[in-house]
């Protein structure tokens, strides 16, 4: 793990015209878990750069856009607000502009499956109130292998299961409460959905992750934060020690407004038992929520965001220091029916074009995408959803599987040279984020014209945030040379790769 001093060294070694200020006194004064990155808050000075022969152009300014928030389809009567400020439950981290290895590894996963499954599946609700009888949980044909195969077929590299949703029903035989699979007639009370899930994922090469809601509407001790802390920590210890390495742990802020969770202790358990897992949204998070449930990420989806308000950053006109490295995860459902399975869910599936648009605006905007496929009351995914997810995976592979040419990694600019002019129509550009987010503006160009009459660079695409990945289509053009460069960057722009694709 880097120290503030080593961060300075890294940038000096790179010869960057960037000044990095080391940890703020405010951050230093805070008492933080030793694993926390909180003491490495830094500020930046950006630079203007151009590749040799390139004219730096003024940035096309985009107006700041605000996220629109969608309500869950069904809200419990008198229930808690859906979107409490996550700040209510965090309070550990000031952050770092440098990534950790687990953040970088998680960003490479890119596309995952979300599985909302539990007592709500059997009641048809989106938020259970905790009074559900465990006897209703009877997924007699449960086959997590089917879920994991569907994820792999769709090109998903990770999968997240709601081990415990807000209703408090645990999908594993926890020692902390009887409100769990042990009290269900399913498999004679000896079933463990979490065990089936992680095993099936691993068998298919899909990294498993778990969602364990802090808000618990069943636990009698919930009103007493101290008692609930011991209860919740015990649940997390079970999940983090009993099921092998996890890719991600989801902490959802719903229902938690004003509640004081013991985040330092929670983070200690997670970091000790699951050092590779990224933490979503609360505590000392590694990753942030993309601010909507449509899966549409901002065109300016920055990876380094304002540390003081990372939880509400969708797309910003400008980055304000101090920055924190906090990649975004977008989530949405494949069916319009909801997060959990509902009667007729299979008839309300989003179209392939819409899903492809979501993919372009999440993975293609540098975020990870969690696409929810809800298992039904049999414990199976709807075949229609499985097939649509597979079609999405196939469409992505068709578009971005076989490049005409590629280049990278490199610093400043990347050029793809093709042996002869070919009709190109789309691109994939990636930033090397290993030393933080450097690109503040990027441009993709193709060289056009005949060599006897002079060649010119023709702009195909441009933007501000580049981040982990940028996918895009452009009007088909026959060209031999393509280049990606950064008119504005923090020090030298570190580019991971450029791939050019033909017309489908
Ligand atoms: O604070 N929140 O309510 C919240 C923060 C970040 C991400 C999600 C939520 S709400 C939550 O959404 C989930 C999927 O995004 C599940 O559907 C839950 O039912 C819902 O409460």
Q: Is residue 161 included in any domain, yes or no?
A: yes
Same domain (yes/no): 352, 412: no
Provide residues with CB under 6 Å of ligand 1: 72, 82-84, 126, 252-254, 281, 289, 293, 331, 339
Ligand 1 mean position, distance from CA 251 (Å): 9
Question: Which of 129, 252, 338 best tests ligand 1's pocket when mutated (most atoms within 8 Å of CB)?
Answer: 252
Residue 451 has what pLDDT? 65
pLDDT at position 308, please?
A: 79
Q: What CATH code is carried by the domain that includes residue 477?
A: 2.60.120.260
Give yes or no: residues 188 and 144 share one domain. yes
Co-location of 415 and 378 in the same domain: no
Nearest CA to ligand 1 atom 1: 253
Does one domain contain both 241 and 118? Answer: yes
Q: Do the domain assignments include residue 344? A: yes
Do 283 and 410 share a domain, yes or no?
A: no
Phi, psi for 407 (deg, rounded to 5):
-150, 160
CA of 88 to the centre of ligand 1 (A): 15
Contact yes or no for 106/283 (Cβ under 8 A): no
Q: What is the DSSP letter of 452?
A: T
- Tell how far the Cα of 231 is from the centroid of ligand 1, in angstroms: 22
CA of 295 to the centre of ligand 1 (A): 13
Note down the domain range covering 412: 405-502
Q: How many CB atoms lie within 10 A of CB 504?
A: 9
Our count of domains for the chain comes to 2
Q: Is 223 exposed, middle or buried (0-12, 13-18, 19+ CB in 10 A)?
A: exposed
Q: Is the separation of the CB atoms in 85 and 311 below 8 Å?
A: yes
Closest ligand 1 atom to residue 84 Cα is: 1
> How far, in Å, from the CA of 369 to the mean position of ligand 1?
15
412 and 385 together in one domain: no
Q: Whose CA is nearest to atom 20 of ligand 1?
A: 254
The Cα 279–Cα 37 span in angstroms is 13
pLDDT at residue 237 in the model = 98
The residue assigned the tokens 């990534």 is 99
**Which pLDDT does position 309 carry in this prediction?**
77
Among residues 310, 248, 292, 304, the alpha carbon closest in space to that of 467 is found at 304
Gap between the Cα atoms of 20 and 254, Å rounded: 36
Q: Which two tokens stand for residue 355?
A: 């899903």
Residue 203 placed within a domain: yes
464 within some domain: yes
* Residue of minimum CA distance from atom 10 in ligand 1: 254
Q: Name the 3-class secondary structure at 308.
A: coil
Cβ pair 215, 255 in contact under 8 A: yes
Q: What is the pTM of this model?
A: 0.84
pLDDT per residue as tens, the chain (504 positions): 222 222 222 222 222 211 121 222 222 222 222 223 232 223 333 433 333 333 333 232 333 233 333 333 333 322 223 333 333 333 334 457 899 999 999 999 999 999 999 999 999 999 999 999 999 999 999 999 999 999 999 999 999 999 999 999 999 999 999 999 999 999 999 999 999 999 999 999 999 999 999 999 999 999 999 999 999 999 999 999 999 999 999 999 999 999 999 999 999 999 999 999 999 999 999 999 998 999 999 999 999 988 877 777 776 655 656 689 999 999 999 999 999 999 999 899 999 999 999 999 999 999 999 999 999 999 999 999 999 999 999 999 999 999 999 999 999 999 999 999 999 999 999 999 999 999 999 999 999 876 666 789 999 999 999 999 999 999 999 999 999 999 999 999 999 999 999 997
Question: Which atom of ligand 1 is least distant from the CA of 340?
Answer: 17
| The ligand 1 atom nearest the CA atom of 339 | 17
What is the predicted pLDDT for the residue at 310? 77
Q: Is residue 134 part of a domain?
A: yes
Q: Rounded to the nearest whole angstrom, what is the distance from the C-alpha of residue 315 to the centroid of ligand 1? A: 20
Nearest protein CA to atom 17 of ligand 1, as residue = 339
216 and 338 housed in the same domain: yes
Minimum CA distance residue for ligand 1 atom 3: 254
pLDDT at 14: 22
Residues 374 and 290 in one domain: yes
Ligand 1 nearest atom to the CA of residue 256, by list position: 1
433: its two tokens: 């984020």
Same domain, 282 and 308: yes
- CA 431 to ligand 1 center in whole angstroms: 29
Residues 275 and 336 occupy one common structural domain? yes
Number of other residues whose CB lies within 10 A of the CB of residue 189: 13
């Amino acid at each position: 793990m880097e120290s503030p001093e080593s961060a300075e060294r890294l940038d000096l070694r790179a010869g960057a015209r960037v000044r990095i200020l080391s940890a703020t006194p405010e951050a230093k004064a805070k008492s933080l878990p030793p694993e926390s990155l909180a003491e490495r808050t830094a500020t930046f000075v950006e630079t203007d750069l151009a590749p040799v022969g390139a004219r730096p152009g003024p940035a096309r300014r985009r107006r700041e856009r605000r996220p629109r928030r969608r309500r869950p389809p069904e809200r419990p009567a008198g229930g808690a607000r859906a979107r409490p400020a996550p700040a209510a439950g965090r309070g550990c981290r000031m952050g770092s502009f440098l990534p950790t290895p687990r953040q970088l590894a998680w960003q490479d996963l890119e596309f995952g499956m979300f599985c909302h499954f539990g007592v709500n599946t059997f009641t048809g609700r989106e938020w259970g109130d905790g009074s559900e009888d465990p006897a209703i949980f009877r997924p007699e044909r449960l086959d997590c292998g089917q879920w994991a195969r569907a994820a792999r077929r769709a090109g998903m590299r990770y999968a997240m299961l709601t081990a415990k949703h807000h209703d408090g029903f645990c999908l594993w035989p926890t020692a902390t409460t009887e409100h769990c699979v042990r009290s269900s007639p399913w498999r004679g009370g000896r079933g463990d959905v979490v065990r089936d899930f992680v095993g099936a994922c691993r068998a298919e090469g899909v990294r498993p992750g778990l969602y364990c809601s802090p808000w618990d509407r069943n636990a009698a001790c919930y009103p007493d934060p101290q008692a609930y802390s011991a209860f919740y920590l015990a649940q997390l210890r079970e999940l983090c020690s009993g099921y092998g390495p996890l890719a991600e742990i989801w902490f959802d802020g719903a229902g938690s407004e004003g509640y004081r969770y013991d985040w330092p202790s929670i983070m200690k358990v997670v970091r000790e038992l699951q050092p590779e897992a990224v933490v979503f949204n609360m505590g000392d998070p590694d990753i942030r929520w993309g601010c909507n449930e449509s899966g549409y990420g901002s065109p300016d989806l920055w990876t380094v965001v304002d540390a003081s308000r990372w939880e509400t950053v969708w797309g910003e006109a400008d980055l304000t220091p101090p920055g924190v490295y906090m990649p975004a995860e977008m989530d949405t459902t494949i069916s319009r029916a909801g997060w959990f399975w509902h009667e007729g869910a299979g008839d309300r599936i989003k179209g392939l074009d819409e899903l492809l648009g979501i993919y372009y605006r999440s993975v293609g905007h540098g975020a990870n995408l969690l696409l929810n496929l809800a298992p039904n009351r049999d414990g199976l995914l709807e075949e229609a959803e499985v097939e649509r997810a597979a079609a999405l995976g196939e469409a992505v592979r068709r578009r971005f599987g076989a490049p005409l040419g590629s280049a990278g990694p490199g610093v400043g600019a990347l050029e793809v040279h093709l042996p002869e002019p070919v009709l190109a129509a789309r691109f994939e550009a990636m930033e090397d984020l290993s030393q933080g987010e450097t690109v503040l503006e990027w441009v993709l160009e193709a060289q056009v014209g005949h060599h006897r009459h002079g060649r010119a660079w023709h702009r195909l695409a441009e933007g501000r945030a580049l981040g982990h990945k940028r996918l895009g289509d452009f009007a088909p053009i026959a060209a031999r040379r393509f280049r990606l460069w950064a008119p504005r960057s923090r020090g030298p722009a570190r580019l991971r790769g450029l791939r050019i694709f033909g017309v489908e």
